């Protein structure tokens, strides 16, 4: 089974802190994604990566950055956390194969509260 | 860009059948996914449609009409454990396999 592991289930941080959210997958997937999920807004894509050291902005990248130094690990960085970044953060990974489903597999999520 | 629309909430009775609709607008359609998400848990893959027609998998079926920009998820013989949010997601050609999710439909199954 595919396993996507997020380092923390719950995090509480203060405004202005630098926050790292870590995600590791064990299936050698090329693609990795970071989403945030808010009531009434659904899952929104922050950043994704299709290869080591490669990244693409999603729909809401402002205030975030990412790092992918190794294929299995994708980190989301909040350079200076703000209260409007309080949310559930979900990491996902998928294969990249032409003409295939390329299902996304999700981690359990990190609920971040910024005070 | 993409626009995906699905109902916010639905209620259905245990043992019944429920249909959750999803309409979308996209340029260069390249597949539609349905995911299930129980409260406090990660979304899990349910079904995938890329060609018109019905895909059946046990109690769950998913239908796609590309010309109408329409899909539905059909759940038969509803069980209490089917109470969850159901997310419709659309993939467009290009874009490195990213998908756009709808806001989800929260289904409550009642006895």
CB contact under 8 A, B96 and A48: yes
**What is the mean predicted confidence (pLDDT) over B8-36?**
95
CA dihedral A73, A7, B106, A60 (to 10 degrees): -50
Structure tokens of A62?
A: 């402002």
| Cβ neighbours of A44 in B, within 8 Å | 101
Query: Which residues contact residue B110 at a Cβ distance below 8 angstroms, ignoring those fewer than 6 apart?
Result: B11, B12, B13, B14
User: What is the C-alpha to C-alpha distance for residues B105 and B41, in angstroms, rounded to an integer?
Assistant: 15
Over residues B28-73, the pLDDT tens digits come to 888 999 999 999 899 999 999 999 999 999 999 999 999 999 999 9
Chain B residues within 8 angstroms (CB to CB) of chain A:
31, 33, 41-45, 48, 87, 89, 96-104
| Residue of A76, A95, A83, A94 lying closest to A36 (CA atoms) | A76
Per-residue confidence (pLDDT) for residue B1, from 0 to 100? 63
| Residue of B37, B39, B69, B64 lying closest to B50 (CA atoms) | B64
Residue of A nearest to B34 (CA): A103
Cα A51–Cα B93–Cα B54 angle in degrees, nearest 5: 115
CB contact under 8 A, A50 and B44: no
**What is the mean predicted confidence (pLDDT) over A76-96?**
96
Strand bridging mode B84-92 / A10-13: unpaired
| Residue of B42, B46, B40 lying closest to A91 (CA atoms) | B42
| Cβ neighbours of A50 in B, within 8 Å | 96-97
Per-residue confidence (pLDDT) for residue A6, from 0 to 100? 95
**What is the mean predicted confidence (pLDDT) over B100-109?**
96
Cα maximum dimension of chain B: 45
Q: In the structure, what pLDDT confidence band is assigned to residue B95 with cuts at 50, 70 and 90?
A: low
**What is the mean predicted confidence (pLDDT) over A13-35?**
96
Strand bridging mode B105-110 / B9-13: parallel
| Residue of A48, A99, A80, A1 lying closest to B50 (CA atoms) | A99
What is the percent of chain B where pLDDT is above 70? 97
| Cβ neighbours of B87 in A, within 8 Å | 42-43
- Give me Rg for the CA atoms of chain A: 14
pLDDT at A98 over 80: no
């Amino acid at each position: 089974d595919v396993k996507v592991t997020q380092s923390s289930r719950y995090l509480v941080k203060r405004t202005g802190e630098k926050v790292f959210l870590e995600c590791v997958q064990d299936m050698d997937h090329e693609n990795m994604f970071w989403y945030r999920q808010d009531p009434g807004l659904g899952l929104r894509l922050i950043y994704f990566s299709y290869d080591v050291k490669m990244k693409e902005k999603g729909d809401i990248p402002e205030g975030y950055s990412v790092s992918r130094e190794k294929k299995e690990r994708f980190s989301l960085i909040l350079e200076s956390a703000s209260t409007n970044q309080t949310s559930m953060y979900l990491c996902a990974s998928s294969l990249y194969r032409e003409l295939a489903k390329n299902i996304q597999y999700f981690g359990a999520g990190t609920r971040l509260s910024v005070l | 860009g993409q626009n995906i629309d699905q109902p916010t909430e639905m209620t259905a009775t245990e043992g019944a059948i429920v249909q959750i609709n999803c309409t979308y607008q996209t340029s260069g359609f390249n597949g539609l996914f349905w995911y299930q998400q129980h409260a406090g848990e990660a979304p899990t893959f349910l079904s995938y449609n890329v060609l018109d027609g019905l895909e059946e998998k046990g109690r769950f079926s998913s239908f796609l009409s590309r010309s109408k920009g329409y899909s539905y998820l059909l759940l038969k013989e509803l069980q209490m454990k089917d109470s969850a949010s159901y997310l419709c997601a659309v993939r467009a050609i290009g874009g490195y396999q990213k998908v756009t999710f709808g806001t989800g439909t929260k289904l409550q199954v009642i006895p």
